[in-house]
Amino acid sequence: MPLYDTNSIKIYNTLSGEKEVFEPITKGHIGMYVCGPTVYSNVHLGNVRTFMSFDMIFRYFKHLGYKVRYVRNITDAGHLENDDDVGEDKITKKARLEAIEPMEIVQRYTVDFHNVLRTFNFLPPSIEPTATGHIIEQIELIQDIIDNGFAYIKNGSVYFDVHKYNTSNEYGILSKRKLEDLIHNTRTLDGQSDKINPQDFALWKKAEPSHIMRWPSPWSDGFPGWHLECTAMSTKYLGDFFDIHGGGMDLKFPHHECEIAQNKAAKGQDPVKYWMHANMLELNGSRMSKSTGNYINPAELLSGKNDIMSKGYSPSVIRFFMMQASYKSVLDLTDEGLQAAEKGFNRLMDAIELLDTLKTDNTSTFNVIEWKQKCYAAMNDDFNTPILIAHLFESVKFINQLKDGSATLSTDDLKILKETISVFVFEVLGLVNVKKEASGIDKLTGAVEILINLRKEARVNKDFALSDKIRDELLEAGIQLQDGKEGTTFTTN
C-alpha cells in the first residue's frame, strides 16, 4: 500500500484562503507547475528559497509514493523591466549592456541556476520548458482569447481586456484585489498607451526595430507578454485541469491573477486546483531583491566573501536554516540565524553518526512509532518543516541519552529510528551530511558519498545517462563503485 493512502495532506490553497485536504485529480498522480527564474542575472538566495520550498514539497510527495510530474519553466523572453508592459526586456537589456547575444545571457544564467540548484541538492524537475520554445503555443492561446472576445488588437500589439473579463467579477479572485481599487490606484498616462484601460495587460507586444528577441505572429513581429508563457506551458504539459500551481508570494499579483484570467478567457476555466505561494526571504529586515540591491548571491554566502556575514556557510546549513521556517512565513537571513542553524545542523549530524554505534536492549524507553507518526503529521499539515525539525531534535535528545546509558531501545525500534531519520533528514529535507568532509577527517569519503547520493537520485528519476556518467567518470578518476544489497560502496586504486 503506498504511503499516500495513509497520509492525508492538508494544503493552504491561496484561492480559497483555507487549508484544504489535498485530493489529487487522478489518484496517485500529481501535476505541479512552479514559475521558474528569469535568466538575466545570477539567482539570489531569495529565488533559491522559493525553489527550495517546492523542492521539499516535491520530495515529500515522491516519498509518499506519488507519481509527480513537476514542471518548472525558464523565462527567457517577454519579461520586461519592472514587471511592466513597457520598458526593455530584462534579458535584451543585459545583452545590450554586455554587447552579446540575448541567448548567451540566457545560457550563462541558466547554467548558473542549475549549478546553484545542484549545490543545494535540489532534485531536477520532470520538465523544464522555456518560453522561447513555446511561442507557437502562446500565439494559439492569444488567438483563442481574441476569438472569445476578451482581447483587442492595437497597432500590432494584443491586450487582454480586463474590464470585459471582469463582468463576472472574476479579476482579483486569487489576489483578493478589486478592480475598482486598482482603477483608483493606477496612474493614467494619457496618450502614452495603446491600452483601452491601464489595467489591461499585454498578450503580444509589437517589437520596436531595436528589439532583438522577436517572432512572427498574425499581429506583428513581436514577443509574448510575460504572463502568457506559464499559461501555455502549464496546460501543455499538465492538461486543462491540474493539481498544483506554485510560485513566490510576489507572483500572486499580477502574474498569477493574469494567468487565471487568460485561462478562463481562452478555455473557460482556471486549470489549477491548489494555488500555493512560498513566502519571501528577507535580508536584514527587508525583502531580498535584485532591483533594490538588497540581496546576496549563493556563491557569496557559501564562500563568506561578502560584507554582510561573518563567514561562509555550507549548502546544507543554509538549507537547514531555510527549512527551520514554514514555507508560508517570511524569513529573515541574518548572520546570527545562520550561526544558530549551523549549531543545530551539526548537533543533528552528530546524533545521526552516533546511530551506528548504539547498543540495543530488550525494551525501549522511547515510543518510536508515535514519534514517527508525529513526523508524518507535521509534514501532512501543509509541509510544516519547523515542527518536523522540532520532532527530529526530540530524537537527537533521545539518541544522546542512549549513548550515555540513561535510555534504552530495542533492535526493531532502532531500525525504525534510523530509517525514519534517514527519510526525513536526507530524503525529504534534502540535507547532506558534509560534516565529516568539513572537519577534514575524510574529505574523499564525504565527496564520493555526495556523488553516490546524486547517482541514487538520478536513478530514482530514471536519469540513467547521469547515473552512468557519475559512475564512469569516477572510474576514470580511479574510484570504483560497487552496488550491493546494503547500498553502494567504493574502492580506490
Compute the distance between CA of residue 11 and CA of residue 20 in angstroms, rounded to an integer: 5
Applying CB under 5 A, does 35 fall inside the site for Zn ion?
Answer: yes
Out of ligand AMP, Zn ion, none, what residue 47 binds, judged by CB under 5 to 8 A for its kind, is ligand AMP
Applying CB under 5 A, does 9 fall inside the site for Zn ion?
Answer: no
Q: Which is nearer to Zn ion, 35 or 301 (CB)?
A: 35
In whole angstroms, the minimum distance from the beta carbon of 193 to Zn ion comes to 24
Among 102, 129, 172, 248, binds ligand AMP (CB under 6 A): 248
In whole angstroms, the minimum distance from the beta carbon of 170 to ligand AMP comes to 23
Q: What phi and psi, each to the nearest 5 degrees, are found at residue 445?
A: -60, -45
For residue 87, give Cα distances in angstroms to 84, 201, 208, 253, 386: 7, 14, 11, 19, 41
Q: Which is nearer to ligand AMP, 49 or 391 (CB)?
A: 49
The span of 31-39, 159-167, 299-307, 353-361 binding ligand AMP (CB under 6 A) equals 31-39
Among 4, 33, 49, 77, binds ligand AMP (CB under 6 A): 49
Cis link prior to 254 (omega < 30° from 0)? yes
**The one-letter amino acid at 363:** T
In whole angstroms, the minimum distance from the beta carbon of 74 to Zn ion comes to 11
In whole angstroms, the minimum distance from the beta carbon of 487 to Zn ion comes to 39
Applying CB under 6 A, does 247 fall inside the site for ligand AMP?
Answer: yes
User: For the CA atoms of the chain, what is the radius of gyration?
Assistant: 25
The string of DSSP letters for 324-357 reads TS-TTS-EEE-HHHHHHHHHHHHHHHHHHHHGGG
Residue 46 grid coordinates: 531569495
Applying CB under 6 A, does 258 fall inside the site for ligand AMP?
Answer: no
Compute the distance between CA of residue 13 and CA of residue 252 in angstroms, rounded to an integer: 12
Closest CA relative to residue 270, chosen from 199, 200, 165? 165
Among 11, 15, 35, 338, binds ligand AMP (CB under 6 A): 35
In whole angstroms, the minimum distance from the beta carbon of 284 to ligand AMP comes to 12
Applying CB under 6 A, does 46 fall inside the site for ligand AMP?
Answer: yes
End-to-end alpha carbon distance in the chain: 44
Applying CB under 6 A, does 37 fall inside the site for ligand AMP?
Answer: yes
In whole angstroms, the minimum distance from the beta carbon of 233 to Zn ion comes to 9
Is the Cα dihedral 330, 336, 337, 338 positive or negative? positive
The string of DSSP letters for 430-477 reads -----HHHHTTS-HHHHHHHHHHHHHHHHHHTT-HHHHHHHHHHHHHT
The string of DSSP letters for 30-71 reads EEEEE---BTTS---HHHHHHHHHHHHHHHHHHHTT-EEEEE
Which of the residues 227 through 246 are near ligand AMP (CB under 6 A)? none
Compute the distance between CA of residue 177 and CA of residue 64 in angstroms, rounded to an integer: 36
Among 47, 132, 138, 316, binds ligand AMP (CB under 6 A): 47
Q: Which is nearer to ligand AMP, 192 or 291 (CB)?
A: 291
The span of 28-36, 56-64, 182-190, 466-474 binding Zn ion (CB under 5 A) equals 28-36
Among 13, 14, 38, 263, binds ligand AMP (CB under 6 A): 38
Q: Which is nearer to ligand AMP, 194 or 250 (CB)?
A: 250
Q: Which is nearer to Zn ion, 36 or 124 (CB)?
A: 36
Q: What is the size of the binding site for Zn ion (CB under 5 A)?
A: 2
Applying CB under 5 A, does 230 fall inside the site for Zn ion?
Answer: yes
Applying CB under 6 A, does 280 fall inside the site for ligand AMP?
Answer: yes
In whole angstroms, the minimum distance from the beta carbon of 72 to Zn ion comes to 10
Q: Which is nearer to Zn ion, 35 or 302 (CB)?
A: 35
The string of DSSP letters for 375-416 reads HHHHHHBT--HHHHHHHHHHHHHHHHHHHTTSS--BHHHHHH
Out of ligand AMP, Zn ion, none, what residue 230 binds, judged by CB under 5 to 8 A for its kind, is Zn ion
In whole angstroms, the minimum distance from the beta carbon of 207 to ligand AMP comes to 21
Q: Which is nearer to ligand AMP, 328 or 374 (CB)?
A: 328
**The one-letter amino acid at 353:** E
Residue 412 grid coordinates: 526493531
Compute the distance between CA of residue 399 and CA of residue 321 in angstroms, rounded to an integer: 22
Compute the distance between CA of residue 213 and CA of residue 66 in angstroms, rounded to an integer: 39
Contacts with Zn ion, residue ranges (CB under 5 A): 35, 230
Contacts with ligand AMP, residue ranges (CB under 6 A): 35, 37-38, 46-47, 49-50, 247-248, 250-251, 280-281, 287-289
